Structure 1
């Protein structure tokens, strides 16, 4: 597990888990110690170790688990982590009924999840799944950070499984709701693999449209 970012309000740690190189992110409020886990994807014991690593007292105290989308490789450890920590759950409204736990909060575009002194702005990105969400962590003194699930990666948007309609929807949302509102130095933390930046990906949007994936 690695600390990958330090903002004015939070520390961000990541852990690669499972057979598909899923990345789970732990966001720890520096002032309160409250913690948010983004995508309890797999390997619950390792995720609990991640929670302990971020906790000021080494406990498994976890306020919320946010799931970026419904796919099985992003929810494999969700039930176990929630049971072990008592965390609340949140997911995009249109994916919430497809998760293996009861979702306490159904997220919609433009709202925010606030835990301690940490604010995560919710961005609904339609196409990879109907209820996929990204989460924006602002930083007054450095680059912002966005956790994109499977909606944006280095080199393109997420898989839309051959649906031209879903591809157009996802590209349009990424262009308007991410590229249109985030600075070039914003760090993109995807659901698999390595990070990138908005500035590195923005110039390639026409290429993605041309190739259709």
Structure 2
């Protein structure tokens, strides 16, 4: 087992889209060891993220998608650490809603890997919740970072702009449920789950248009 570990930081703020605003708690995931790390979804509070990093070198700020609650602290965190912001190109229109004057530093593509602390995070393009939504799979850690694609109890929301229910179901079926069932799913909000816990319920989600 590599020296990398997974840390969760919960930050609070708001999510805004289609004219509405809601209070939310977000999971910020930090993957790394004592010397370096990557941040998955820089949500709400750059100060808290910097404190959690504790002086480690930040290799990248990886965005699972570009809803404002997952990216609002990203430019500030990048400015303070020098780390690049990485986002799938499919979510650039959403990104511009929040940061019209600052573009990401690099693009995420399906199959790309992000290396840190001896492990590799493989990018899985999983559209549906957002066009450029991605998950990150770290087999050495038996971990999937699912953003808002898959939660404990079902898929992410698809009732707002830029989202599509049949697309998210296809992403989950083809890309996520094919992973080992003991893979721990580290979600964008709420508690973790496993692929094995969620896989039996796919047809239920389809039947009720979850």
Smaller-chain TM-score range? 0.7 to 0.9
Alignment partner for residue 36 of structure 2, among 34, 37, 43? 34
CA apart distance, 1:45: 0.8
**1:156-183 Cα distance to aligned partner (Å, 9 max, x none):** 10011168x8111111111110101x11
Residues 60, 85 of structure 1: 8 Å contact kept: no
Residues 35, 63 of structure 1: 8 Å contact kept: yes
CA apart distance, 1:79: 1.3
Runs of 4+ deviating beyond 6 Å: none
CA apart distance, 1:190: 0.4
1:123-202 map, 5 Å: 123-139=124-140, 144-161=142-159, 166-180=164-178, 182-202=179-199
Residues 29, 118 of structure 1: 8 Å contact kept: no
Match of 1:114 in 2: 115
CA apart distance, 1:60: 5.1
Partners of 1:34 and 1:93 in 2: how far apart? Answer: 26
The TM-score with structure 1 as length reference comes to 0.85
Match of 1:88 in 2: 84
- Structure 1 unaligned spans of 5+: 1-6, 53-58
Match of 2:20 in 1: none
Report the count of equivalent residues. 194
The TM-score with structure 2 as length reference comes to 0.86
Residues 124, 131 of structure 1: 8 Å contact kept: yes
Partners of 2:180 and 2:205 in 1: how far apart? Answer: 20
Alignment partner for residue 12 of structure 1, among 6, 18, 21? 6
- Structure 2 unaligned spans of 5+: 14-23
Over the aligned positions, Cα root-mean-square deviation in angstroms equals 1.8
